[in-house]
C-alpha cells in the first residue's frame, strides 16, 4: 500500500477512444464514480427478522466536475466549450498520478460549463462532464 | 502576467511621480519598499506585498500570482497628515492603470492610530493588483 499526491492528475477529452487531448490548467476537481440507487424494501410478514431488502440495481454514471483556469484562446478549452455548445458525446479519460496510472474512460458529455467572474480573482470555468454509460477502469 | 517585482515597481513609479502626493511627503521619493532607512524623516510611505495566491493546477507550474495585495503604510507626525497621505495614495492608484497594464483596486483602508514604535501616526491602504 502506498500514498500519493493528487496533483498531477490528467484529464483528457475528445472524440478518439482513448481521447488524446489533455485539458490544460485543470484545477481542483472531483470524479464521482456514480451513486447507487437505494435498496428496495421488500419486507413481508414472512421476512426473517421483519426486514428484507433487495438491490436497487440502478447506478448513476461516472461524472467529472472541476475548475479549469480558463483561457479562451486555448484549443483544449475550446474543445470543451464547443462540445458543450453542440451537445456532443465524446470520450473522457481521467488518469490518476499513482504509480500504476489508474484510469477511467467513459463516453461523456459536457453537461455544464459556467464561468464565475469574481472581481478579485482569476478567470476560471466550472465544468461538469457526465458519463453516458458504463466506464472502463484500469488499475 | 507581470512579475511581482514589476508590479511593485510600477506602483512605486506611480506614487513617486504623483504631483498630488509629493507635497505631502517629507522629501521626494520618501516611499520605501519594505524597510525605512534610519535617517528617513516623516511623512513617508512604506510599501510591501502582503499576499499573492499562486494559480495552482494539476499539470502546470503555479507561476505568478493571479491577484496580489500591496500594503501602503503612511506615517506622519499627525493623524490628519497620515490620513491625507493615505488618501493621496488611494487617489494615485485605485482604478488607475499602471505601466504594466494592470489596474489596482482598493481593497481595504485603515486608521492605524498612533504607532509608539516609531512615534508617528499611521494610516494604511491595501491595494490589490
According to the model, what pLDDT value does residue A136 have? 94
Whether B58 sits inside 8 A of A22 (CB atoms) is no
Question: Residues A101-138: pLDDT tens digits?
Answer: 999 999 999 999 999 999 888 899 999 999 999 999 99
- The one-character DSSP state at B24 is G
pLDDT of residue A35: 87
What does the alpha-carbon distance between residue B82 and residue B88 come to, in Å, rounded to a whole number? 10
Residue B107: exposure state from Cβ atoms within 10 A (0-12, 13-18, ≥19): middle
Tell me, what's the pLDDT at B55? 86
A96 has a chain B CB within 8 A of its CB: no
Please say if the pLDDT value at position B122 is more than 90: yes
Q: How far off is chain B from A79, nearest CA to CA, in Å?
A: 18
pLDDT at residue A16, as a whole number? 95
Q: Which residues contact A139 (CB under 8 A, 6 or more apart)?
A: A100, A102
Instruction: Supply A39's cell numbers.
Output: 435498496
CA distance A124 to chain B (A): 10
What pLDDT is recorded for position A95?
Answer: 97
* Farthest-apart Cα atoms in chain A, separation: 66
What is the residue whose three cell numbers read 497628515? B81
* Beta carbons of A120 and B107 less than 8 Å apart: yes
Instruction: Report the interhelical angle of B4-16 vs B79-93 (nearest 10°).
Output: 120
Question: How does the average pLDDT of chain B come out, rounded?
Answer: 93
Contacts of B107 in chain A (CB under 8 A): 120
Residue B87 has pLDDT above 80, yes or no: yes
Say whether residue B23 is in contact with chain A using an 8 A CB cutoff: no
What are A4's three cell numbers?
500519493
Task: Name the residue among B124, B123, B13 with its Cα closest to residue B69.
Answer: B124
> What residues form DSSP beta bridges with B127?
B70, B106
* pLDDT digit string, tens, across residues B9-46: 999 999 999 999 999 999 988 999 999 998 899 999 99
Q: How far is CA B25 from the centre of its chain?
A: 14
The whole-number pLDDT of residue A54 equals: 86
Of B8, B28, B3, nearest to B98 (Cα)? B8
Chain-centre distance of CA A94, in angstroms?
8
| Mean pLDDT confidence for B57-82 | 91
pLDDT of A58: 84
Rounded percentage of chain B residues whose pLDDT exceeds 70: 99
pLDDT at A4: 94
How does pLDDT run across A45-84, given as a tens digit for each residue? 888 888 888 887 788 899 999 999 999 999 999 999 999 9
* CB pair distance less than 8 Å for B59 and A69: no
Question: Chain B residues with CB inside 8 Å of A10's CB?
Answer: 58-59
Mean pLDDT, to the nearest integer, of A22-50?
91
Helix (H, G, I), strand (E, B) or coil at B73: strand
Amino acid at each position: 500500500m502506498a500514498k500519493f499526491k493528487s496533483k498531477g492528475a490528467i484529464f483528457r477529452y475528445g472524440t478518439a477512444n482513448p481521447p488524446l487531448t489533455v485539458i490544460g490548467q485543470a484545477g481542483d476537481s472531483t470524479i464521482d464514480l456514480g451513486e447507487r440507487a437505494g435498496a428496495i424494501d421488500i419486507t413481508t410478514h414472512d421476512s426473517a427478522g421483519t426486514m428484507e431488502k433487495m438491490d436497487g440495481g440502478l447506478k448513476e454514471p461516472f461524472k467529472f466536475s472541476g475548475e479549469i483556469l480558463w483561457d479562451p484562446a486555448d484549443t483544449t478549452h475550446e474543445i470543451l466549450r464547443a462540445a458543450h455548445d453542440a451537445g456532443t458525446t465524446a470520450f473522457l479519460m481521467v488518469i490518476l498520478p499513482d504509480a500504476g496510472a489508474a484510469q477511467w474512460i467513459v463516453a461523456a458529455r459536457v453537461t455544464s460549463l459556467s464561468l464565475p467572474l469574481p472581481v478579485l480573482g482569476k478567470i476560471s470555468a466550472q465544468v461538469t462532464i457526465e458519463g453516458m454509460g458504463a466506464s472502463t477502469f484500469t488499475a | 502576467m507581470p512579475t511581482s517585482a514589476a508590479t511593485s515597481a510600477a506602483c512605486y513609479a506611480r506614487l513617486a511621480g504623483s504631483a498630488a502626493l509629493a507635497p505631502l511627503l517629507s522629501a521626494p521619493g520618501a516611499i520605501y519598499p519594505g524597510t525605512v532607512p534610519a535617517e528617513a524623516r516623516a511623512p513617508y510611505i512604506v510599501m510591501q506585498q502582503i499576499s499573492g495566491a499562486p494559480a495552482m493546477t494539476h499539470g502546470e507550474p503555479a507561476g505568478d500570482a493571479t491577484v496580489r495585495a500591496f500594503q501602503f503604510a503612511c506615517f506622519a507626525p499627525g493623524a490628519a497628515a497620515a490620513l491625507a497621505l493615505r488618501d493621496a495614495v488611494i487617489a494615485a492608484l485605485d482604478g488607475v492603470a499602471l505601466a504594466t497594464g494592470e489596474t489596482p483596486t482598493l481593497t481595504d483602508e485603515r486608521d492605524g492610530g498612533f504607532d509608539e514604535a516609531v512615534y508617528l501616526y499611521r494610516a494604511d491602504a491595501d491595494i490589490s493588483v
